[in-house]
């Protein structure tokens, strides 16, 4: 499994991600699927425990174009982007076709309501058996157990989790083995599909400039993330790449 700054990232595809997820869901397996971008990689780089937790998941897709470039530079020539929001759209369509029940956990009440309305309009035969916008504050053990039991008893086999990084990834791994569903940490997919946050034009996505669009759209919220993580990611990955080509530990600095 290739590693980018110590984080295992699969050179997968939309078809492979959907196929594996449907197979796991049909067998009622508890699985964790992540969509990594530069933010996720750098959060994992800075937090060894978080990195080890993510590496214990079942599938980490290259959500960001810079990660696709990194995988290709490391020798995975056929690596392609598996974008979380687009994957969510594909997974919902596949779940409707295969009659796999789904659920949604996360987002604000307003965003979640709009998300559910849009999904129902586009996928009228899709069985949505669970939806919850949890409190922003940390949950007590009793509250968490009640939610876990509620999700489990609902019968969902695919659960889309939108709590923001790194909270959503930690939540998924905390509940892997406790909830018999494939859990997807999909981040901004809730906002994009609900239509409450604009997406970058496709040409910006293909060019690796999506972050510029998002930064311009939400400068106050995203300034610290991009200004802190992006330059460090470039520098540290170049160091890793130089080390790997020189025959040293490819994860030097981790």
Please, what's the b/e burial string for 138-148 (b: 16 or more CB within 10 A of its CB; e: otherwise)? Answer: eeeeeebeebe
Domain ranges of the chain: 3-190+198-245
pTM (2 decimals)?
0.91
Q: How far apart are CA 17 and CA 33, in angstroms?
A: 9
Per-residue pLDDT of the chain (254 residues; tens, 9 = 90+): 889 999 999 999 999 999 999 999 999 999 999 999 999 999 999 999 999 999 999 999 999 999 999 999 999 999 999 999 999 999 999 999 999 999 999 999 999 999 999 999 999 999 999 999 999 899 999 999 999 999 999 999 999 999 999 999 999 999 999 999 999 999 889 999 999 987 878 887 887 777 777 778 778 777 777 888 999 999 999 999 998 887 765 554 45
Instruction: Please name the residues in contact with 67: beta carbons below 8 A apart, sequence gap of 6 or more.
Output: 4, 9, 36, 37, 38, 41
Q: Which two tokens stand for residue 111?
A: 């965003």
Q: Residue 192 in contact with residue 85, Cβ under 8 Å?
A: yes
The 3-state DSSP class for residue 9 equals coil
Instruction: Please name the residues in contact with 218: beta carbons below 8 A apart, sequence gap of 6 or more.
Output: 197
Residues in the chain: 254
Residue for token pair 């239509």: 195
**Could you tell me which residues are beta bridge partners of residue 26?**
none
């Amino acid at each position: 499994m290739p590693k980018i700054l110590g984080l295992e990232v699969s050179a997968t595809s939309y078809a492979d991600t959907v196929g594996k997820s449907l197979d796991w869901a049909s067998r009622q397996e508890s699985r964790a699927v992540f969509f990594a971008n530069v933010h996720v990689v750098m959060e994992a780089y800075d937090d060894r425990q978080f990195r080890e937790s993510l590496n214990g998941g079942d599938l980490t897709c290259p959500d960001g174009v810079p990660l696709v470039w990194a995988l290709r530079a490391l020798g995975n020539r056929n690596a392609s982007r598996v974008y979380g929001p687009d994957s969510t759209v594909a997974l919902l369509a596949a779940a409707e076709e295969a009659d796999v029940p789904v659920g949604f956990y996360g987002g604000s009440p307003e965003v979640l309501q709009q998300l559910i309305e849009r999904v129902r309009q586009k996928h009228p035969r899709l069985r949505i058996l669970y939806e919850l916008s949890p409190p922003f504050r940390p949950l007590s053990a009793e509250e968490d157990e009640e939610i876990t039991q509620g999700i489990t008893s609902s019968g969902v086999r695919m659960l889309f989790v939108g709590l923001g990084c790194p909270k959503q990834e930690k939540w998924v791994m905390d509940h892997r083995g406790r909830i018999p569903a494939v859990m997807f940490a999909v981040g901004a997919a809730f906002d994009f599909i609900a239509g409450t946050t604009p997406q970058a034009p496709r040409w910006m996505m293909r060019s690796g400039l999506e972050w510029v669009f998002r930064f311009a759209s939400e400068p106050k919220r995203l300034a610290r993330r991009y200004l802190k993580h992006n330059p460090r990611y470039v520098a540290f990955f170049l160091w890793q790449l130089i080390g790997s080509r020189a025959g040293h530990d490819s994860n030097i600095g981790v």
